[in-house]
Structure 1
Amino acid sequence: MDTIEFKLVKDSEIYADKAPSPAVAIFVNGRSLIDLAREIELPFAEAEGRTTDAGNYAWLRLNWLHGPWEHFHGTAESEFYYRAKTNLLECGDCGVSGCWPLLARIEVKKTIVVWKKFEQPYRRKKYASSRVKHWNYDIFGPFRFDREQYETALKAMIGEASKTVTPPFASA
């Protein structure tokens, strides 16, 4: 079983509006989700001659999530929702979700939460060309989390955020 940790961090420097905003850093099995994505993406980015694109992500800004509980259960329908997939990371250049997101399908089952079918939507097969290649995430995940551990970690982050972040985000 994989483990997950959600941490609040502040990194307003990369966001286009430079507004200070806590963001949700995600760690899977003790490793940064950004670092894990970079490892998977690097061979594809190298093939395009664009190595800086690999893992070029930022954490999701908490004040943009209208419900972190729903979001990280894969049920939030907002600007972060892409055809049954959930945005887990934002663009590392501007911090805007739709610019360069990392997506995954989140399935909540009775005792586990599964993250699978990761993708960078701008590197889908249908966009492949001589210049832009398809990035295959088949070996990335799936991650299977004990539902109790997952929800405890999520509740802890939401509880911490409720002390410092102004809504519109909702708590569990």
Structure 2
Amino acid sequence: MRQGRRDGFREFAAGRSGHLYRSACLLASGDTHLAEDLVQETLGRMYLLWGRISRIENPAAYAQTVLVRVFLTHQRRRSAGERPFGEFPGADGAQPVAGGTDPALRLTLLEALGRLAPKDRAVLVLRYWEDRSVEETAEAMKVTSAAVRTRSSRALSRLRGQLGGSLAEFAGH
């Protein structure tokens, strides 16, 4: 019984780790070390409850919810808002070039996400990276649907302000 539980969790973790890590990188604004810590904490919490979680309808969605909650908890615990990192390309105010695989664009977007408040970042990652509904996002963040709509709108407005109002070109439209 225990071996089957462990094997089931290992299979789940192996299949979801990459996706969790990519989401964590967005939440952590490109801080790969923090992203790894967030994923490790998420998987640790998932393992502790795996007997119950493995029976729910969508353990992958639950893992994403746990990841966001771990991230928000981490942000509340931080004693200082400073984050050490070097200058990103485009940080001098120059407009980055749009493109699907442009590393400078990716870094510029991560930098812009990093300037948002943690809850703003979380709502954007859940709504637009994870493609969750307003209701699913509200449940993951433990807020109302109206709060998600308001926060999404304001966070997108802040992001547009940082990117010079050209968010459509960054979204590939």
Taking structure 1 as the reference length, the TM-score comes to 0.31
Higher RCO by CA contacts (8 Å cutoff, separation 6 or greater):
1
- Larger Cα-atom Rg: 2
When the two structures are superposed, what TM-score results if normalisation uses the length of structure 2? 0.31
Higher helix fraction (1 or 2):
2
Q: Normalized per residue, which structure has more strand?
A: 1
